[in-house]
Amino acid sequence: MHSTHNTKSNAPQAARSGAAVKLLALLAATGGGLLLYREGENWLRSLLLYLARAGWARSLVTGFPPAWRMASRFVAGESLDEAIAAAQQLNGRGLGAALDYLGESVENAAEANAARDQILYLLDRIEAAGVDAYVSLKLSQLGLKLDENLAVNNLRMILQRARQYGRRVRIDMEESALVDVTLDIYRRLRHGEGFDNVGVVIQAMLFRSEQDVRRLVEEGASVRLVKGAYKEPPDIAFAKKADTDANMIRLMQMMLSEQARKNGVSLAVGSHDAAIIAATNDYAQRGGVNKQDYEFQLLYGIRRDLQEQLAAQGHRVRVYVPYGTAWYPYFMRRLAERPANLWFFVSNLVRK
């Protein structure tokens, strides 16, 4: 009887809370829509990327219960068990996985070493489960902004464990200030120490990427090519989507060229953009490139129909699967990539 009374007394409070959430969502949609109309999509993207790095915003959003419901479209879960289950489901649909234990810009060596240990355990679990998956990671998660040697030593341990299992590791690219040191560390371990199971990421939005790709082609690198998800100044990056797209197609062609293939370049095209995908397939077909000699990589929770369509056409498809409690920056960057997603989430919040 007592529990029934509590349930009834809590009902009005829950209803008021739900109404408040819907009101806030409507206000956000209205205000955001007005700003988008007046200032354009680039303004909204800049705001979302700023919020991705703002500690006060992280605390506010992650403490807001509906936020996880929104983020869980892009993130497999907060636990490793959920990530492995997601990889198994993808494998069952004929798709590979790239698992990413979320985290970046750790504040001390203990956090960096804890992230390393989590990634080592992730490799153990991938091997035990027998899933088709490799690991993606960020060097700032391993301590790069604290001590370069700390990050290198942590990465070396991860690469050693991955090599034992015959698994690959991809170093994600971060903001432009870290590109040089990221490529230096990649080359130190790939060429200096002989870890042939490590790859890197190139962002098409950066002016410098064409020169970086020329060198990576000469070296026969394993590269994931993406547009880029960070806010960069206009003197080092393309401001317009059309220019980034054109550069991405140019870089893709460089890495699928006959010379690149002779050098052993392995290309993964990370994009949901129909024009980029069509341009890749067209160039590959005209150049006699086998569908199994390159890979499309798509993000977890986005365009499942496209994932299956490409796989049905005989393409290699891998899905980038992030997981962990540090999901906030990743979630905000996904919203910034396509601000229309923001309205999708707000409308879902209002409906629920």
Catalytically active residues are 172, 224
Picking from 297, 201, 216, 227, the residue whose alpha carbon sits closest to that of residue 259 is 216
Tell me if residue 169 falls in helix, strand or coil. strand
DSSP 225-252: EE---S---TTTB--SHHHHHHHHHHHH
**Dist. CA 316–CA 215, nearest whole Å:** 25
Residue 134: CB partners within 8 Å, gap ≥ 6?
96, 97, 98, 99, 126, 162, 167, 168, 169, 170
Tell me if residue 45 falls in helix, strand or coil. helix
> Which residues does residue 267 pair with via DSSP β-bridges, in sequence order?
223, 294
Distances (CA, A) of 88 to 61, 119, 163, 327: 30, 18, 21, 21
Under DSSP, the state recorded for 206 is B
Give the number of other CB atoms < 10 A from CB of residue 205: 23
> Which residues does residue 200 pair with via DSSP β-bridges, in sequence order?
171, 223
**Dist. CA 59–CA 68, nearest whole Å:** 13
